[in-house]
Structure 1
Amino acid sequence: MSESITLNTVGRVTTLTISRPAKRNAITQAMYGAMAAALNDYAQSDDIRAFVITGSEDYFTAGNDLQDFSMANPNEENPPVEQFLTAISTCPKPVIAAVNGPAIGVGLTMLLHCDLVFASESATFNAPFVKLALVPEAASSLLLSASVGMAVANDILLAGRVLTAQEAHGYGLISRVFEDCDLAEEAGKIAAHVADAAPQSMRLSKSLIRHRQDQVATQMQRESEIFVAQLKSPEFAEVVSAMMQKRAPKFS
Structure 2
Amino acid sequence: MTSPFLSVERRGRVAILTMSRPESMNAIGTLEDCDNIVDTFFQLGNDRSVSAIVLTGSGRAFSSGGNIKGMKERQGIGVLDQPDSTRANYRRGVQRATRAMLDCEIPMIAAINGHAIGLGLDLACLCDIRVAAESAKMAASFIKVGIVPGDGGAWTLQKIVGYSKAAELFLTGRTFDAAYAQSIGLVGTVVPDADLIETAVGIANEIAANSPRALRLTKKLLREAQHGRAHDVLELSAAYQAIAHETKDHAEAVAAILEKRAPNFTGD
- TMscore range, shorter length: 0.7 to 0.9
Equivalences for 1:70-89 in 2 at 5 Å? 70-72=74-76, 74=86, 75-76=88-89, 78-89=91-102
State how 1:99-114 maps to structure 2 within 5 Å.
99-114=112-127
Corresponding residue of 2:240: none
Determine what percentage of the aligned residue pairs are the same residue. 33
RMSD over aligned Cα, in angstroms?
A: 2.0
- Report the CA distance shift for 1:161/1:55 in structure 2 as closer, same or farther (over 3 A): same
Confirm or deny that 1:169 pairs with 2:182.
yes
Q: Is the Cα contact below 8 Å between 1:128 and 1:157 reproduced in 2?
A: yes
Q: 1:134 aligns with which of 127, 131, 147?
A: 147
Q: Of residues 151, 154, 162 in structure 1, which corresponds to 2:167? A: 154
SS in 2 for 1:60: strand
What is the letter of the counterpart of residue 115 of structure 2?
Answer: P
SS at match of 1:183: helix
Match of 2:68 in 1: 66
Moved more, 175-184 or 24-33: 24-33
For residue 214 of structure 2, what is the amino acid of its counterpart? S
Tell me how far apart the structure 1 counterparts of residues 94 and 138 of structure 2 sit (CA, whole Å). Answer: 20
Change (3 A) 1:31 1:152: same
Structure 1 equivalent of residue 39 of structure 2: 37
Asked if the contact 2:27/2:120 (under 8 Å) is kept, the reply is no
Aligned to 1:6: 7
- For the 8 Å contact 1:14–1:51, the answer to whether it is kept is yes
Q: State the alpha-carbon separation in 1 of the partners of residues 213 and 185 from structure 2.
A: 27
Q: Distance in 2 between matches of 1:213 and 1:45?
A: 26
Q: Distance in 1 between matches of 2:204 and 2:109?
A: 7
Note the C-alpha offset of 1:115.
Answer: 1.0
Question: Alpha-carbon deviation of 1:85?
Answer: 0.5
SS at match of 1:144: helix
Deviations 1:156-205 (A, max 9, x none): 10111222111111111112111100001111111122122111211121
Amino acid at match of 1:107: G
Q: Is the 8 A contact 1:126 1:161 kept in 2?
A: yes
Tell me if structure 1 keeps the 8 A contact 2:135–2:178: yes
Are 1:191 and 2:204 an aligned pair? yes
- Tell me the equivalent position of 2:20: 19
AA partner of residue 15 (structure 2): T
Structure 2: distance between partners of 1:87 and 1:14: 16
Matched AA of 1:51: I
1:198-233 CA distance string (max 9 Å, x none): 112111211221115779xxxxxxxxxxxxxxxxxx
Name the residue aligned to 2:50: 48
TM-superposed deviation, 1:19: 1.5
Question: Runs of 5+ in structure 1 lacking a partner?
Answer: 216-252
| Rounded Cα–Cα distance in structure 1 between residues aligned with 2:225 and 2:214 | 19
Structure of higher RCO (CA pairs closer than 8 Å, 6+ residues apart) = 1
Q: Letter of the 1:139 partner, please give it.
A: G
SS at match of 2:61: coil
Can you give the 5+ residue segments of structure 2 that lack an aligned partner in the other structure?
81-85, 229-268
Letter in 1 for 2:154: S
Which segment drifts farther, 200-209 or 141-150? 141-150
Partner of 2:108: 95
SS in 2 for 1:27: coil
Going from structure 1 to structure 2, the CA distance change for 1:15 and 1:147 (only over 3 Å counts) comes to same
State the AA in 1 paired with 2:132. Answer: A
2:122 counterpart of 1:121:
no
Q: Normalization by structure 2: what TM-score?
A: 0.74
CA distance in 1, matches of 2:178, 2:37: 25
